[in-house]
Amino acid sequence: MRTYLIRAAGSALLCLLLFALADWWWPLPEPERVRSVLILAQDRTPLRAFADNEGVWRYPVTLAEVSPLYVEALLTYEDRWFYQHPGINPFALVRAGWQWLQGGRVISGGSTLTMQVARILDPHDRTVSGKIRQMFRALQLEWHYSKTDILTFYLNLAPFGGPIEGVQTASFAWLHKPALALSHAEAALLAVLPQAPSRLRPDRSPELAQRYRDKVLRRMATQGVWSQETVADAMVEPVMKLRFQQPMKAPLFAERMKIRAFADKVSRLQTTLDANIQWAVDNVLRTRVNSLPEKASVGVLVLENHTGYVRAYAGSADFHNAERFGHVDMVRAVRSPGSTLKPFLYGMALDDGLLHSASLLSDVPLKLNDYAPQNFFRHFSGAVSVAQALQQSLNVPAVGILPRLTPGVFVARLRHGGVVISFPEHAEPNLSVILGGAGTTLEDLVRGFTALGRGGISVKPRFVADDPLEERRMLSEGAAWIIQEILRAIPPPEGSINAAGVAWKTGTSYGFRDAWAIGVGDYYTVGVWTGRPDGTPLPGSLGVAAAGPILFDVFRALPKQSGMNARRRPANVTQEDICWPLGESAAQTAPEHCHVRQQAWILNGNVPPTLPHFQHYSWSAGLQTYWLNPATGLRVTAACNTSERMARQVAQWPLELQPWLATTLLEKIRLPAFDSSCPPGSAYQGGKQLAVRHLDSSTRLYLPKVAAGQPNNGVTLDLLADGGEGQYFWLVNGEPVGVDTARSGLRHTFTRAGDYELTVFDTAGAVDKVSIRVISRP
């Protein structure tokens, strides 16, 4: 007996050594073949699948992601002793051989689930040698992997008809639901399909598939795994003839994530996208797409503020519409941002102590060298506050602020906050950047705007939950809060309701090529772009009218949140009355110098005065000192024949604003006439009211007739004035054209026909205006 045991042990050891040698010499094929890639939403809802080079579709799953009912049906029908045998079931093989000898045909294969996985990994012919090879591979599987691993291989590799592999793919293909949600009847159907995947495809032979399914159900009742009542109910359920459809949610986002999945060598990637929010955004676009102009598209990005998770991503209005360039991802396309950068400019100026929310700005014609910015609607408002300039998206005030930061510093600070600005090759940042004279992406803009809802700190979009939280300081908490409050006061587009308290900003690029709307709520930041992906103009397409309604539709469709803190004003932000034109605190301003009272948000207790003008020929707001004869109340100088005089001050408005001031304000800054004791005809005493000379509304100037190809030299006019005092400042259609220091006249040339308003004002604040017409000769 002892000798027998020794021989048996030796034989077993020899067999084990031979198996180990064969395993080393003839290694098992790698089971983890990445044949296709599946992109999932946060809740594991499939967004889009990508087949391999052979067109095979497989949605990888784990055992926990498959219904236990399917596992029960599979093991009961295919391999009841799966957890007991070593990969080969000798009894099943003997039974299969005996049935073959008796019937002359194969009645049952005798293959275990492990052997079926082995045949999938290493295909072979249905011969004796092939069966031996299959058994060896099955032993190898059991040698290298656990039972759970082997079962998982089967769940992912089993054929289910056509290009479909794996139970998850089959469940979505034939039942349009995840494998975790299978009913008893559905579990039985999927358990039997791999037996004859081509013949039993439900889309081709639903009746045959139902007969085989019922066979599995009866087996489940016979084995006592499921009750007779359960099986009877399941057999009533018909097998539906459903067409195989791949999921197609957020297709351009999924394409982007596919590249990442391939780089990470994973067959499925679970993203931060919220399937319900994505569906809501897609539904908004479905309702809007037919009203879009020809060849127009839309890009939408929804970011969760506190996490940076991308919750919805629509790269185009209709992925399948070639005429709308549906394959072009407009979330990542570099486009002109229009006016969407203005909130950052004013926020940075707040942080630099240059402004408060009611600082006096000039919305008047401006020319800086050869650059003359215009407002979008080609008119000017005169005196405006920071809040008004931002809410009305006025161009001239923004261009006037940018030189205080310098374009290079502004662009660098934007880049630090995550908003990368692109310029043509060899181009440098200039003043046009604030009006959209550069490029950026919807993704970067949304990232930057998250700073308004996150205390001034922007967050990089996170596409996968494992992505690191990358935050950048864009503005201080106080500046971000003030800018958000200003933007929150902008009324929504016509027909929309701002029930969510959204702070939003629009933008329209030059030539109507891009229309933008970016909004910040308490929980989400949403960006919308619309236009033509090929860059051709859409005349009349404004951000407020084209992108704004879509923005508010998206916000209305977002889930309502609760449990998070409401907006709180930072401790370093206070509210205070200030006075124009000086811009200082009303409490520190003499009543006679407070021409207009404004309520302002103040940062860090700093109340900066009205900014000085940066052009040499203009003066800024400030106090002008003059002297009075107390006996007459008239103005005097040192040259006047009076023994007494008293100093007085008047708050002067910036020079460029004076032509836009109301009569009541002009009266406040007009200096008294000179006392009669002053020398007549002196430079200080005009003696007459300021008036334009020789011109009135009937004046007509005629442009010379010019031959084709010859230069147009225009018509020249001498601008002359009488009266007033000091220097004369001349404007044509509100644009400064020069200073007549000697009061001898200023020559100006008109090169275009049209109506022109000539304005002159002096150092005492007197103003006179005349309108003339320039006509082209026939």
Q: Is 30 a catalytic residue?
A: no
Residue 231, by phi and psi: left (phi above 0), alpha (psi -120 to 50) or beta? Answer: alpha
Element of type H or E holding 622: strand 622-629
d(CA 175, CA 179): 9
Separation of alpha carbons 492 and 515, rounded Å: 16
Instruction: Establish whether the linkage from the previous residue to 581 is cis, with ω within 30° of 0.
Output: yes
CA gap 154, 157 in Å, rounded: 5
CA 592 to CA 594: how far, in whole Å? 6
**Residue 267: what are its φ and ψ, rounded to 5°?**
-95, -10
Cα 390 to its chain centre, rounded Å, is: 20
Give the Cα separation of 352 and 422 in Å (integer): 25
b/e code 347-368 from CB counts within 10 Å (16+ = b): bbbbbeebbbbbbbbbbbbbee
Query: Is 78 among the residues known to form the active site?
Result: yes
Burial of 396 (C-beta count, 10 Å sphere; 0-12/13-18/19+): buried
Bridge partners of residue 302, in order along the sequence: 312, 526
C-alpha to C-alpha distance for 351 and 413, rounded to whole angstroms: 12
Which stretches does DSSP call E strand in 469-621? 471-473, 503-508, 514-520, 524-531, 573-580, 596-603
Angle value at C-alpha 213, between 210 and 215, nearest 5 degrees: 115
In b/e form, how buried is each residue of 487-510, taking b as 16+ CB within 10 angstroms? bbebebbeebebebebbbbbbbbe
Tokens of 763: 């150092």
Dist CA 231 CA 219 (whole Å): 10
User: What is the C-alpha separation between 451 and 520, in angstroms, rounded?
Assistant: 9
Residue 750: count of CB within 10 angstroms of its CB: 16
Backbone φ and ψ for 429, nearest 5 degrees, come out as: -60, 135
Q: Pairing between strand 728-732 and 754-762?
A: antiparallel
Residues 6+ apart with CB under 8 A from 521: 305, 453, 500, 501, 502, 503, 555, 558
Helix (H) or strand (E) holding 363: strand 360-363
The strand pair at 57-58 and 164-165 is best described as parallel
The alpha carbon of 322 is separated from its chain's Cα centroid by a whole number of angstroms, namely 23
Non-local (6+) Cβ contacts of 380 within 8 A are: 363, 364, 365, 396, 660, 734
From 36, 171, 339, 359, the catalytic residue: 339
Amino acid sitting at position 670: R
Write down the catalytic residue from 78, 142, 165, 656. 78
Active site residues: 78, 339
